Amino acid sequence: MLREEVLDSIRANVENENMVKHMLATEAIMRALARRFGEDEEEWGLTGLLHDIDVELTEGDMNTHSKLGADLARELGVSEEMAHAILCHNETHGISPETRLDKALFCTDPLTGLIIAATLVRPDKKLAGLEAKSVKKRFTEKSFAAGTNRQHISKCSEIGLELGEFIELGVEAMKGIAADLGL
Ligand SMILES: [Fe+2]
């Protein structure tokens, strides 16, 4: 399975550019996590890239979101492990994240939103000058990006990362694709 094919499929199924950027950001952080833990970078990255492929097809129906996504990912040839991570990133199904890949995707998904929100309140709206410590401060401000699930981000402890480390890794990973994110 090639990244290019995956991106083509995402482009065919997701029109909202911000959603595509969210998936690219998730990919970047998942790649950085895979490198950090000596896991398969391609596998982890593509899992992140694909995880919301069904977001427009399921039209906000949380009962089908990620089930359809896992099926679409399987059609593209992902492993069962990758499909499982995609499936359980939506907790509506009551399937708990089990593997390190499952858990990594689960905590990474909401982190991208917090980092993007922290970037957009900067005067220059650029990732380049964003410091991890200011994102960590935003994390503690409950009213900031209130829709971001802090509890899910905190699950980084289950893959052996402290919150500060996780945020730092996430910020650095997203800076690496700032141009693609338009930030
Ligand atoms: Fe997501």
Separation of CA 101 and ligand 1 centre (Å): 15
- What is the Å distance from ligand 1's center to 142 Cα? 20
Q: State residue 1's pLDDT score.
A: 74
Residue 126 one-letter amino acid: K
Distance 55 CA to ligand 1 centre (A): 9
Rounded to whole angstroms, what are the CA distances from 50 to 10, 22, 38, 46?
7, 11, 21, 6
Q: Residue 6's CB: how many other CB atoms inside 10 A?
A: 21
* CB-count burial class (<10 Å; 0-12, 13-18, 19+) for 19: middle
Mind listing the pLDDT tens digit of every residue in the chain (183 residues)? 789 999 999 999 999 999 999 999 999 999 999 999 999 999 999 999 999 999 999 999 999 999 999 999 999 999 999 999 999 999 999 999 999 999 999 999 999 999 999 999 999 999 999 999 999 999 999 999 999 999 999 999 999 999 999 999 999 999 999 999 999
Distance from the alpha carbon of residue 22 to the mean position of ligand 1, in angstroms: 7
For CA atoms 168, 150, 85, 24, give the dihedral sign: negative
Report pLDDT for 22.
97
Report the separation in Å between the CA atom of 128 and the middle of ligand 1, taken as the mean of its atom positions: 23
Calculate the CA 120 to chain-centre distance.
Answer: 18
CA 92 – ligand 1 centroid, Å: 14
Q: Which residues surround ligand 1, an ion (CB under 5 A)?
A: 52, 109
Residue in the structure block whose two tokens are 């209130």: 146
Q: Give dist(CA 70, CA 164) in Å, integer.
A: 31
| pTM, 2 dp | 0.97
Residue 122 CA to ligand 1 center (angstroms) comes to 23
